[in-house]
Structure 1
Amino acid sequence: MIRLHHVQYGRSFRVLWLIEEIGPERFGGLEVVEHRIGTPEMRESGLARVSPAIRIPAIEWNGLEMSESGAIVEYLAERLAPELTRAPDHPERPAFLQWLHYAETMASLIENLNLQMVFLRPPAKPAPVVVKLHVARLRQTLRGMEEALGEKEWLLPSGFSAADVMMGFNLFAAPYYVDMEEFPRLLAYRARMEARPGYQRAVEREGPQRFYAQDFYPVPEA
């Protein structure tokens, strides 16, 4: 059985979705250990044993211990679902790796916005200049992705891959900070994600999100 250390709708959603795409039965089943972000529980839970930074996701499987969502997604796809990766000699390998890591560039901006807008409660106030900068950078990553996606259904011309799985968390969270109406291709892309049975099973496990208190977080006034 694979044990996934998880925070609802965090980066670990990538791993949860991938496991549902592959099929938990191929791991001998799935145990989800849910952690509460922003509380002492993560440090006190023993998570550091499998995740040196005490961050999620982390997995335990047949003696294997791994953290970092990109590394986990790439490794599990290579081991159990090669159709979701691209082999070193595949012509799409460079694009596969680039999108795999582009997802983390985007996610780091979302994380910074989460810290500014969600974790910093009153009397602390988010810095308008910093938030504006992160939103602009996040919008640019979305714009670049919109242009690169073009008329393709998925990021790679040959079809769905683990690179698309890496984007699932991003396209769930980005609309809380960026108006997605300016990105029609990404909206259609997200709809294709949401139509996949594996994605739907992962969302069903997640349940209603409990992290964001409002539907959209505008840049605060100075």
Structure 2
Amino acid sequence: MSATLHSIAGSRSFRVLWLLHELGEPVEVVPYQIMDGSLQQEGFKAISPARRVPALEIDGRVLIESGATVQYLCETRKGHDLMPPVHADERADWLQWLHYAETLGGGIQNLNMQHLFLPKPEMRSLTVMGIETKRLAIALKGVEKALSDGRDYLLPTGFSAADVMMGFTLTSARRYVRFEGFPHLTAYQARLEARPAYSAAQVAEGPQQFYTQDFYELPEG
């Protein structure tokens, strides 16, 4: 029986969808829209108490946090090398990067709210936008530094689910921070996007719904 992923194209749902494709797990995607009220339907409320995606129905349960879902899938599926063993030296690094992706994700979410979802310019805060953009750039420098030793992925041993978590985040981060000063991040993102499972997940998800511009400049004060 295939899993069911409740998803909004371009959201954190992509992490889960991409990982399912890396694992070769069949999945049915149920699409939602960000602003049409579909997340407020009674049926979805019963699935996701926070009324947010992703929500993955799998193994007789529902998982509603992307990081927890990624870790659960790695722990319950066999025949892959997307997670170091519990007692491996890299396990702590894997967990660290898995959750560092959400350090970036929190800033991106705040910038999305300011740039995309507050309907009137007077509702936005130039101070918040400036602070969050700077914080995002600082957090990205941490990833850039880790990749500067010549490694292709976050772990020296190769591609893992931590890269799945991070890869989606970088795609969104580039809307707010220019990557010209991040050569290792730029090459890393290109490697991730070249993976067949990444491309397959993009097709399954459909066009992203959030961004109408490639890059969002900070408004002039």
Instruction: Indicate whether the TM-score tops 0.5.
Output: yes
Answering whether residue 141 of structure 2 is matched by residue 153 of structure 1, we say no
Q: Confirm or deny: 8 A CA contact 1:50 1:66 kept in the other structure.
A: no
Map 1:121-160 onto structure 2 (within 5 A). 121-122=119-120, 124-150=122-148, 151-160=150-159
Moved more, 181-190 or 72-81: 72-81
Answering whether residue 73 of structure 2 is matched by residue 91 of structure 1, we say no
**Partner of 2:12 in structure 1?**
11
Per the alignment, in what secondary structure is the counterpart of residue 81 of structure 2?
Answer: helix
**Partner of 1:112 in structure 2?**
110
Deviation (angstroms), 1:159: 0.7
**Partner of 2:65 in structure 1?**
68
Q: Confirm or deny: 8 A CA contact 2:29 2:205 kept in the other structure.
A: no
Aligned length, in residue pairs: 218
Moved more, 78-87 or 110-119: 78-87
**Partner of 2:178 in structure 1?**
179
**Partner of 2:30 in structure 1?**
33
Relative distance call for 1:123 and 1:219 in structure 2 (3 A) is closer
**For residues 45 and 154 of structure 1, what CA distance do their matches in structure 2 show?**
41
**Partner of 1:209 in structure 2?**
208
With the length of structure 1 as denominator, give the TM-score of the two structures.
0.94
The letter for the 2-side match of 1:169 is: F
The letter for the 2-side match of 1:5 is: H
Q: Confirm or deny: 8 A CA contact 1:146 1:183 kept in the other structure.
A: yes
Relative distance call for 1:133 and 1:52 in structure 2 (3 A) is same
**For residues 178 and 70 of structure 2, what CA distance do their matches in structure 1 show?**
28
Deviation (angstroms), 1:207: 3.0
**Which consecutive residues of structure 2, in runs of 5 or more, have no partner in the other structure?**
none
Deviation (angstroms), 1:46: 2.0
Q: CA RMSD in A?
A: 1.3
Q: Confirm or deny: 8 A CA contact 1:12 1:57 kept in the other structure.
A: yes
With the length of structure 2 as denominator, give the TM-score of the two structures.
0.94
Deviation (angstroms), 1:124: 4.3
The letter for the 2-side match of 1:79 is: T
**Partner of 2:40 in structure 1?**
43
Moved more, 100-109 or 208-217: 208-217
**Partner of 2:190 in structure 1?**
191
**Partner of 2:24 in structure 1?**
23
**For residues 67 and 59 of structure 2, what CA distance do their matches in structure 1 show?**
20
**Which consecutive residues of structure 1, in runs of 5 or more, have no partner in the other structure?**
none
Q: Confirm or deny: 8 A CA contact 2:16 2:66 kept in the other structure.
A: yes
